[in-house]
Structure 1
Amino acid sequence: PGNPGAVMISFSEYVKPFIRKCRGLNNFWPQEVEAVLTAPYKKKKGRLNFVRVKLSQVWSIWQATPLSKQESGIISSLAEMDGLALIPAEADFLPKGAKVKVHLMEW
């Protein structure tokens, strides 16, 4: 049970890597790229945030655009997202152009 967005992200970030490791795979973590934010992002300090993003590439630079609907009960942004930007717990604001790690979604 739980909100669909929270369940999907938890499965992708925690359960799927666990299953892959149990299967003996060496490469069990989600594939990761570094990207720059195309818009500022504000949050409360104290916890890691997984932000749904749409990715694009300009030359060889990945750009991550945060999707407008981030609530855990929203399904539409799950269908639109290309990855999850990891916003560190110690950050409360990241400006446009900030570099972030993005875990790519495998659909």
Structure 2
Amino acid sequence: MSEPDPKTRLDDLEARIAAAKSAKEQRPHQEEHYSQAQVAWRMVTELVAGLGIGFGIGYGLDSLFGTLPWLMVLFTFLGLAAGVNVMMRTAKEVQAANPAPAAGEDKRDDEDGD
């Protein structure tokens, strides 16, 4: 028994790949359920990372120069400021991706009947 033509096999493979890709695209996207929690954890991580990096730089410089705790305190506050700055940037990204409904479209106004 001879094997099928390589072109036929290649066409069959391409058809199966296309079918698998289309089946994958049709599945519902489950990530939306956790998106707010993911954003919150991202913001917490950014803040803690800023604090930790600032503390580490300050402590290292204090150890090097023998000025403990002055540079550690200074760089911890700078790390806090950097972490808050990155958090605000993340909040702006999320806000741009998910715009709020217009102020005139409040459903509570319709329910009162006044």
Q: Which has the higher contact order (CA 8 A, sep 6+)?
A: 1
The structure whose Rg is larger is 2
Fold similarity call, TM over 0.5: no
Q: TM-score range by the shorter chain?
A: under 0.3
What is the TM-score when the length of structure 2 is the normalising length? 0.24
